[in-house]
Structure 1
Amino acid sequence: MPIARNLILSALLSTAFASSALAQSCGGDLGAFLEGVKAEAVAKGIPAEVADRALSGARIDPKVLSRDRAQGVFKQTFLEFSQRTVSQARLDIGRQKLKQYADVFARAEQEFGVPPGVIAAFWAMETDFGAVQGDFSTRNALVTLAHDCRRPELFRPQLLALIEMVQHGDLDPATSTGAWAGEIGQVQMLPEDIIAYGVDGDGDGHVNVKQSSPDAILTAAKFIQSLGFRAGEPWIQEVTLPADLPWEKSGLGNEVPASEWFAMGVTPRDGDTTSGALPAALVLPQGRNGPAFLTYPNFNIYLEWNQSFIYTTSAAYFATRLMGAPAYQKGNPDTGLDDAGMRALQTKLQSVGHDVGKVDGILGSGTRRAVQKEQARLGLPADGWPTQELLQAL
């Protein structure tokens, strides 16, 4: 899922960059723009001939601009998305990869504290273990997005980092391909992150996250560690629920010690209650009658990787499956709203003062919070899952 990496680009803003008149330049004649990029690269110590080689033949790619303008968030439910992405075929391949690269995964966990399943799940979700890495010219994608005046402060540093990768011999600007937003390799990382966290896993003197699985695995592990992953702690745990929970306490952002959930009758399916001292949120992707999970502090790294709740919950669940957990209990979720119903609900929520963001039919975090508040006000189970009953009550 290449667009996933684009969702965390907001974290890459640089105050120093924003204060530079040169760095802010965008648009206009492409040749003049590229000369400005070259001058900035040379000022950073990169030889002029390297910058010339990296930028030679660069062009604007209209398809990149089209994807950037049109990107959206899928509208599938958790059950729909997770069952498609966490397929038996992917689980089988994932377990085979864990065996094939067992020594590399062991090194990743020893050096960076990240379990094999966490890395392998991202590897699968992003590129099907390297099989689908994207066919956009990485150089042209970053030139296009840096030249475009919509978000140059996000992409120009990535273009400069790409030139640095060329200097290191880690990228061929003429042939390297990846995602439309400039992500590269088997776990879809941006050039700045590859430079900062790149690990030469196969000992050839280069960081090649596109062709070398050991490089990709270890680089991903180091990057995940940088996002705050805490070694030896869980990230998500499937639970079963009593019928009489205070549902208004559920949802991300409502963390309490896991022991409090256990005391209320929330029961881990694996029987493991040793994480009782950790803060945990009860997440109900499709309401109280669907799958239920406790999320722990390590779940935050998934939200750093991708801000989509459905993607992150699916990726976290995928990691537990690769580490031996059984398939979740589907339950019997209440029927949700179709696109028209969601838009009608969002419009109504907005009219009564809730900030749901754009009326787009997508069940984002703002809409979930508003739904939960209105459910509580109306005396409905406040599990954050929008239903026809709620829409009619409003």
Structure 2
Amino acid sequence: MRLSLFSSVFCICLAGPALAAPCGNTSAGFAAWKNDFAREARKAGVKKPGLQALQNAQYASRTISADRNQKSFRYTLERFMELRGSTTIVAQGRKRKARNREFYAALERKYGVPAGILIAIHGMETAFGHFMGDSQIVPAITTLAYDCRRADFFLPHAIGALKLVDQGAITAATRGAKHGELGHTQFLPGNALQYGVDWGGDGRVDFYDMADALASTANFLRKKGWKKGKGYQPGEPNYAVLKQWNAATVYQQSLAIMGADIDR
């Protein structure tokens, strides 16, 4: 699956009032919404496999519960890092870098992003791939696209997920995080579609393959403005780019601290 070709038309297909299926705040309207959304998805280029996955999607109550009860970003930096296991991430991250030094060096040569940041993201998101989520991606992301709370944000990612099904990158049963994020570094589907990289050269982007996932993460950061050879601590040029990965300030701060510790 080669994703970059779609990036130029992705926003065009989803711009303006095209995705007009009415949102809802309970499961009651989800089936009717799916019917409306299927017509818009078809117009956006989603094909039969993606449309079938949409048809089979069930309202994801666990996703809505998680979305209503997010607490981790309200913590202090110190508490947030403690809960995320920053000490363990740094210790394991240094070992991972030492074992795969050429791989991380190759990523930095191509994308300009140092190993510490990529490893810190990998550790923060999925404990280095040990837990990549237990929620089916298509039901989760379509439920969020239907839900009135943040429908506009999740609608493009719902289209992205259905296109990933079309391309064989995921199936209707593939599992990720409760908000529909997928793979080793938990890409939202629209971002996966736009920034994915086939690092292994097998003709498809596999976000459940570590190399593809980390290369895609580096590509995302580069496309968001990462400057090769520049710092990423507060006040340095690349610090703001970290916010493109996750908008929470404590997350941004944690990545800067852990990345520097891993690269030390």
Q: Which of the two has greater helix per residue? A: 2
The match for 1:298 among 230, 238, 248 is 238
Could you say which structure has the greater relative contact order, defined with CA pairs below 8 angstroms and 6 or more residues apart?
Answer: 2
Which residue pairs with 1:275 in the alignment? none
Provide the rounded CA distance (Å) in 1 between the counterparts of 2:147 and 2:165. Answer: 23
Helix, strand or coil for the counterpart of 1:295?
Answer: coil
Deviation at 1:18, TM superposition (A): 6.3
After TM superposition, the score normalised by the length of structure 2 is 0.86
1:19 Cα offset (Å): 3.1
**How far off is 1:66 after superposition?**
1.4
User: Structure 2 CA distance, aligned partners of 1:16 and 1:161?
Assistant: 11
> Percent identity of the aligned residues?
31
**Match of residue 35 from structure 1:** 35
Closer/same/farther in 2, CA of residues 31 and 79 from structure 1, 3 Å limit: closer
Counterpart pick for 1:180 among 178, 181, 189: 178
Q: Match for 1:126: what amino acid?
A: E
* Rg larger in structure: 1
Partner of 2:108: 109
Report the alpha carbon displacement of residue 165 of structure 1 after superposing the two structures with TM. Answer: 0.5
2:193 matched to which residue of 1? 195
In the aligned structure 1, how far is the partner of 2:137 from the partner of 2:16?
26
Unaligned runs of 5+ in 2: 1-10
Give the aligned partner of residue 147 of structure 1. 146
| Range moving further from structure 2, 94-103 or 160-169 | 94-103
Matched, 1:214 2:211: yes
Amino acid in structure 2 at the alignment position of 1:230: K
Structure 1 unpaired stretches of 5+: 1-13, 237-293, 325-394
Report the AA paired with residue 189 of structure 2.
Answer: P
Contact 1:183–1:189 (CA<8 Å) still a contact in 2?
yes
Superimposed CA distance per residue, residues 126-176 of structure 1 (whole angstroms, 9 cap, x where no aligned partner):
1111112221111111121111122221112111111110111100112x1
Q: 1:88 Cα shift?
A: 4.2
Name the TM-score, length of structure 1 as normaliser: 0.59
Match of 1:320 among 240, 260, 264: 260
Alpha-carbon offset, residue 67 of structure 1: 1.4
Give the Cα–Cα distance (whole angstroms) in 2 for the partners of residues 83 and 16 of structure 1: 42
Shift of 1:315: 1.2
Amino acid at match of 1:36: D
Q: CA deviation at 1:54?
A: 2.0
Shift in CA distance, 31/128, structure 1 to aligned 2, threshold 3 Å: same
Which residue number in structure 2 is paired with residue 291 of structure 1? none
Q: 1:15 to 1:68 in 2, by over 3 A?
A: farther
Please state how far the C-alpha of 1:179 moved relative to its aligned partner.
1.4
- Aligned partner of 1:44 in structure 2 is 44
Give matches, 1:1-394, under 5 Å: 17=14, 19-20=16-17, 22-27=19-24, 29-47=29-47, 49-83=48-82, 85=84, 87-174=86-173, 176-209=174-207, 211-236=208-233, 294-324=234-264
Letter of the 1:213 counterpart: M
Cα distance in 2 for partners of 1:163, 1:119 equals 27
Moved more, 80-89 or 94-103: 80-89
Shift of 1:108: 1.5
Tell me if the contact between 2:116 and 2:263 (Cα under 8 Å) persists in the aligned partners. yes
